[in-house]
Amino acid sequence: MRKIMLAGTIAVGLGIFLVGAVLTGEEGITQSANENPQIDYQGFLKQVQEVAKVREKRRVSEEEFIRMMNDPKTIVLDARSKRMYDLLHVKGAVHISLPDMTAEDLAELIPQKDTRVVIYCNNNFKNEPQAFAPKAPVASLNLNTYNTLYSYGYRNIYELKPLLDRRETKIPFAGTSAENSK
């Protein structure tokens, strides 16, 4: 009898705990977020879903990328590290490392938020492991760069879609690696 009562008490306690956890699930996350108002994970998740709807329509072919990059009103943006950018980058691309993207730095680099911005990353090029070391697909720099630009109000963003062979692409490159291979 005691074992049955103890098991019942444990079950009721566990049930109350689980109901409490379910009821405070999102609220608990929000409360944690309120501990640091500069980090908003729920907002991030919401924005990722919003960006996903837009981004897929804004991924461009190699030909379209080249056409856009040749338009003087377009900014080609490289968000890799300065070291990788200096080594090899799309010719004419401007650089700002993803960790350095702030509203102020972006406003200086891209003053008009309706400017067309075209991005690329390591995972767009193969056969250039030093300058374009591939990242895990879910850690692709394009994903974070697109979301970051979007969160700062830039909406005219395009992304190079295909995986291109660095030795065969028609996209021109600059940097110390490009200069040394001449």
Q: What is the domain count for the chain?
A: 2
Say if residue 33 is in the same domain as residue 54: no
Asked if 62 and 131 sit in the same domain, the reply is yes
- Same domain, residue pair 124 and 114: yes
Contacts of 121 (CB under 8 A, 6+ apart): 79, 80, 135, 140, 141, 142, 145
CATH number, domain of 168, equals: 3.40.250.10
Is 46 found in the same domain as 14? no
- Helix/strand/coil for 160: strand
- Residue 44, C-beta contacts closer than 8 angstroms, at least 6 positions apart: 147
153 φψ region: left (φ > 0), alpha (ψ -120 to 50), beta (else)? left
Question: Which helix (H) or strand (E) element contains residue 23?
Answer: helix 2-23
Q: Are residues 21 and 84 in the same domain?
A: no
Instruction: Find out whether 177 and 87 touch, Cβ atoms under 8 Å.
Output: yes
C-alpha 95/C-alpha 81 separation (Å) is 9
d(CA 128, CA 88): 9
Same domain (yes/no): 26, 66: no
Instruction: Please tell me whether residues 91 and 14 are part of one structural domain.
Output: no
Backbone angles phi, psi at 40, to 5 degrees: -130, 85
Torsion, Cα of 123, 125, 127, 128 (10° steps): -90
Range of the domain at 118: 40-180
**Is the same domain home to 95 and 26?**
no
Claim to verify: residue 61 and residue 21 sit in the same structural domain: no
The rounded distance, in Å, linking the Cα atoms of 154 and 69 is 17
Are 56 and 139 contained in the same domain? yes
Return the pLDDT at 177. Answer: 86
In this predicted structure, what is the pLDDT of residue 32? 55
Name the residue with tokens 């040394």. 180
User: For residues 169 and 177, what is the distance between their CA atoms, to the nearest angstrom?
Assistant: 16
**Same domain? 53 vs 33:** no
Task: Render each residue's pLDDT in the chain as its tens digit; 182 residues.
Answer: 444 444 443 333 434 333 344 334 444 445 454 689 999 999 999 999 999 999 999 999 999 999 999 999 999 999 999 999 999 999 999 999 999 999 999 999 999 999 999 999 999 999 999 999 999 999 999 999 999 999 999 999 999 999 999 999 999 999 998 877 65
Tell me the pairing of strands 89-90 and 173-174.
Answer: antiparallel
Same domain, 90 and 154: yes
